[in-house]
């Protein structure tokens, strides 16, 4: 039976009707005992939205315990078994929302609900760590925490590698060079090792992937180029294999590149390209194998509560669920300033970035990985990636675009952006200047004032960590960031000064590229 404005009354009858109107009969789940009564919607029940549906079953009725049956009615979906709900000594009919099977007679197992409003975690489950955001920083944080033995929940509003995320899209460079910034070179070295270990593990497990493409990375330098000179020195100090190429050698190896003002270059032969969307999905899959619970939900902005000594005990989701944990990591990329607007809306600037893929001629290998490396021209703030997986030659302008909302922003490229890219191609790769556009993408950077990451404790919550500010160069560093986050939570690491919240300013002055 369906009741309006019903509420839970602890210690007495499970349901107390607040409306005397005759209820409408509703379709009972298959094999639901005749004695079962549908109760709800609810009010004032922690972690349960007002439109939840629950079938209560007398706790003395064990006649059908353990049996299963298919669910023909789409409206009867529930939280997974094991997320128990206990109220007034009653037990509930449970079902598996993955297999769509009703599991009868399970003592206090689950809430029955409609598919779009599933309470994903109920109040009796407390994780060691809840990670909000399944982009590269969040996925690797969850993975590394699980490797350290933590019970982890990983939450994302749109799913890992989704088209709105900064970790979506086809490809990202992984380079070692960072001008004078050894911290990022060493992080990139560590990250490449961990990426390759994960991919190799998946290969051994029977998952055939080519998620790292060893294309090499080519830096295009000017005559007096302090940033590239500093990169050379850093690569030498960090023992990264590299080669300096003079202009004549650049022209001999890569005749499809018109050097123009380029005087020399640096080749990192062991660097290359990560297949971004697929790589993030792979990390989340491996994390789940290790026991991480993945939940496709959006988190609501936490509110400080003085009664809990500045500690957060749970986060609420937009569907009304609640996730309890001892520690929280917010690694939600361009959503970080939206989740914490008072703290971060002026410190992290989300910008719109356009990416273009140009079709190459049939059978033309000069613009594929066998014919050229991925390359960077930081003087003009442009980068290019060869034709991988037959998506086309990828090129993008690295200069920060206008501000952008990752939820509501249209992801359609501008005519101005296309014209700017074609103008650059005409001077650097003239054979592609009039090539057809095979694919486009609009993503975003979430930029701190300097380009340094934000990895620090929230000032209002002692058990909340802020992890973000990838600033257009963060993807490659996901494994090292995750390792660092796990160390911060365990107490084995300290906040790095450059990643501290206190160093983030409101005025943009990009120093890290």
Least confident of 57-66, 144-153, 223-232: 57-66
For the segment 418-436, the average pLDDT, to the nearest whole number, is 97
88 vs 227, which has greater pLDDT? 227
Architecture category of domain 126-164+278-341+450-503 in CATH = 3-Layer(bba) Sandwich (3.50)
DSSP string, 90-127: BEE-EEETTTTEEETT-TT---EE-GGG---S-TT-EE
Q: Tens digits of per-residue pLDDT, 339-380?
A: 999 999 999 999 999 999 999 999 999 999 999 999 999 999
Per-residue confidence band for 207, with pLDDT thresholds at 50, 70 and 90: confident
| Tokens 């930029």 found at | 447
Q: Is pLDDT of 250 > 60?
A: yes
Q: Residues in the chain, how many? A: 513
Q: pTM of the predicted model, to two decimals? A: 0.78
316 vs 16 pLDDT, higher one: 316
| Residue 82 host element (H or E) | none
Q: Is the pLDDT confidence value at 431 over 50?
A: yes
Predicted local confidence at residue 113, as pLDDT: 32
Confidence of residue 304 (pLDDT cuts 50, 70, 90): confident
Higher pLDDT, 121 or 218: 218
Banded pLDDT at 34 (limits 50, 70, 90): low
Nearest to 301 by CA among 132, 453, 424, 176: 132
- Domain ranges (residues) in the chain: 1-119, 126-164+278-341+450-503, 172-273+349-447
- Over the chain, what is the mean pLDDT? 81
- Superfamily holding 172-273+349-447: D-Amino Acid Oxidase, subunit A, domain 2 (3.30.9.10)
pLDDT, tens digit (0-9, with 9 covering 90-100), for 191-200: 999 999 999 9
pLDDT, position 305: 63
pLDDT in tens, 115-138: 333 344 444 689 999 999 999 999
What pLDDT, on the 0 to 100 scale, is given for residue 101? Answer: 34
- Residue 176, both tokens: 């070692």
The answer to whether the beta carbons of residues 333 and 137 sit under 8 Å apart is: yes
Please tell me the distance from the alpha carbon of residue 42 to that of residue 54, in angstroms, as a whole number: 10
Whose CA is closest to 141, among 498, 458, 502, 465? 465
b/e burial code for range 53-69 (CB count within 10 A of at least 16 → b): bbbbbeeeeeebeeeee
- Are the C-beta atoms of 388 and 170 separated by less than 8 Å? yes
Mean pLDDT across 94-109: 32
Long-range contacts of 405-412 (CB under 8 A, 24+ apart): 405/350, 406/164, 406/165, 406/166, 406/333, 406/334, 406/335, 406/338, 406/350, 406/444, 407/164, 407/335, 407/338, 409/352, 409/442, 409/444, 410/442, 411/163, 411/164, 411/441, 411/442, 411/443, 412/440, 412/442
pLDDT attached to residue 310: 86
- Residue range 427-442: average pLDDT? 97
Determine what percent of the chain is predicted with pLDDT higher than 90. Answer: 72
Mean pLDDT over residues 159-169, rounded? 95
pLDDT mean over 315-340: 96
Band (268; pLDDT cuts 50, 70, 90): very high
Beta-bridged to residue 112, according to DSSP, are: 78
Mean pLDDT, residues 447-476:
97
pLDDT of residue 64: 35
pLDDT of 252 = 98
Pairing verdict, β 126-132 and 217-221: unpaired
State mean pLDDT over 44-49. Answer: 36
In which residue are the tokens 């760590």 written? Answer: 129
Query: In 3-state terms, the chain is what percent helix, strand and coil (to 5)?
Result: 25, 25, 50
pLDDT at 266: 98
Q: Are 329 and 299 in contact (CB under 8 A)?
A: no
């Amino acid at each position: 039976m369906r009741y309006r404005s019903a509420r839970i009354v602890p210690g007495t009858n499970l349901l107390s009707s607040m409306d005397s109107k005759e209820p409408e009969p509703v379709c009972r789940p298959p094999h639901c005992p005749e004695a079962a009564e549908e109760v709800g919607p609810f009010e004032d029940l922690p972690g349960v939205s007002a439109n939840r549906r629950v079938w209560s079953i007398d706790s003395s009725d064990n006649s059908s315990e353990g049996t299963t049956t298919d669910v023909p009615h789409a409206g009867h979906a529930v939280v997974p078994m094991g997320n128990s709900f206990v109220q007034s000594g009653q037990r509930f009919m449970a079902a598996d929302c993955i297999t769509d099977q009703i599991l009868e007679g399970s003592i206090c197992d689950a809430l029955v609900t409609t598919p779009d409003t599933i309470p994903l975690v109920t109040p009796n489950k407390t994780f060691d760590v809840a990670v909000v955001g399944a982009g590269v920083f969040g996925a690797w944080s969850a993975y590394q925490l699980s490797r350290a033995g933590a019970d982890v929940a990983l939450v994302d509003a749109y799913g890992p590698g989704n088209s709105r995320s900064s970790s979506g899209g086809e490809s990202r460079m992984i380079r070692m060079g960072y001008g004078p910034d050894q911290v990022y070179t060493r992080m990139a070295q560590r990250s490449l090792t961990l990426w390759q270990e994960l991919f190799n593990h998946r290969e051994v497990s029977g998952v055939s992937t080519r998620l790292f493409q060893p294309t090499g990375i080519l830096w295009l330098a000017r005559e007096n180029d302090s940033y590239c000179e500093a990169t050379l020195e850093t690569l030498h100090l960090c023992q990264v294999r590299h080669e300096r190429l003079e202009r004549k050698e650049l022209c001999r190896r890569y005749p499809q590149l018109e050097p123009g003002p380029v005087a020399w270059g640096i080749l990192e032969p062991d660097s290359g390209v990560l297949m971004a969307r697929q790589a993030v999905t792979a990390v989340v899959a491996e994390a789940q194998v290790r026991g991480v619970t993945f939940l496709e939900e959006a988190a609501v902005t936490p509110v400080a509560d003085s009664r809990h000594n500045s500690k957060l005990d749970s986060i609420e989701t937009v569907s009304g669920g609640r996730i309890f944990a001892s520690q929280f990591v917010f690694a939600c990329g361009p959503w970080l300033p939206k989740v914490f607007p008072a703290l971060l809306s002026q410190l992290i600037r989300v910008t719109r970035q356009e990416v273009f893929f140009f079709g190459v001629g049939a059978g033309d290998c000069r613009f594929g990985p066998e014919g050229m490396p991925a390359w960077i021209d930081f003087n003009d703030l442009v980068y290019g990636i060869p034709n991988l997986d037959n998506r086309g030659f990828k090129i993008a302008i690295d200069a920060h675009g206008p501000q952008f909302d990752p939820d509501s922003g249209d992801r359609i490229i501008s005519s101005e952006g296309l014209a700017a890219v074609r103008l650059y191609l005409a001077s650097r790769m003239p054979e592609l200047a009039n090539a057809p556009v095979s694919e486009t993408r609009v993503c975003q950077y979430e930029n701190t004032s300097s380009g340094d990451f934000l990895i620090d404790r929230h000032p209002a919550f002692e058990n909340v960590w802020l992890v973000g500010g990838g600033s257009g160069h963060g993807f490659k560093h996901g494994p090292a960031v995750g390792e660092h986050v796990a160390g911060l939570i365990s107490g084995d690491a300290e906040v790095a000064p450059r990643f501290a919240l206190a160093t983030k300013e409101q005025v943009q002055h990009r120093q890290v590229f």
